[in-house]
Amino acid sequence: MASHALAALPASAADVRAWTVRHHGEVFAVVSLPLDLGAWLPQLTNAERDIVGRVLHGDSNRDIALARGTSVRTVANQLAAIYQKLSITSRADLAIHVIRLQLGRGAPPQTHP
């Protein structure tokens, strides 16, 4: 299934990054491909997709605000709008949602009260 998902993502050789990680004596291969969030999240605005990309990269609201030239409060409001549009409640749900879309499992993540 993973190879099917990877084949669906267009990328040039220059965009692909790969490395290995050793953990508890095991070696894992990690491959990173660019993700066209416009194709995966068409219901979001360009600004919201930019924020999603930065959240997936691990940036804090403060980091996102500095990079975008906005306030932390603006980023928080935009994240709230993203969560509402995607029917999710957290950064973790956002990551799960995008991964599921990427793997062809378009159902939104189950949120817990």
Is residue 109 one of the residues assigned to a domain?
A: no
The CA-CA-CA angle for residues 45, 50, 54, to 5°, reads: 145
pLDDT, residue 107, reads: 46
State yes or no: pLDDT of 90 exceeds 60. yes
The CA-CA-CA angle for residues 65, 69, 73, to 5°, reads: 40
State yes or no: pLDDT of 101 exceeds 70. yes
Is residue 54 one of the residues assigned to a domain?
A: yes
CATH of the domain at 21: 1.10.10.10
Q: Which residues contact 113 (CB under 8 A, 6 or more apart)?
A: none
Q: What's the pTM?
A: 0.65
Is residue 89 one of the residues assigned to a domain?
A: yes
- The secondary element (H helix, E strand) that includes residue 78 is helix 72-86
Is residue 77 one of the residues assigned to a domain?
A: yes
Is residue 23 one of the residues assigned to a domain?
A: yes
Is residue 14 one of the residues assigned to a domain?
A: yes
Distance CA 103, CA 80 (A): 25
Is residue 113 one of the residues assigned to a domain?
A: no
For the stretch 12-47, pLDDT in tens is 555 667 778 898 999 888 776 666 677 778 899 999
pLDDT, residue 13, reads: 54
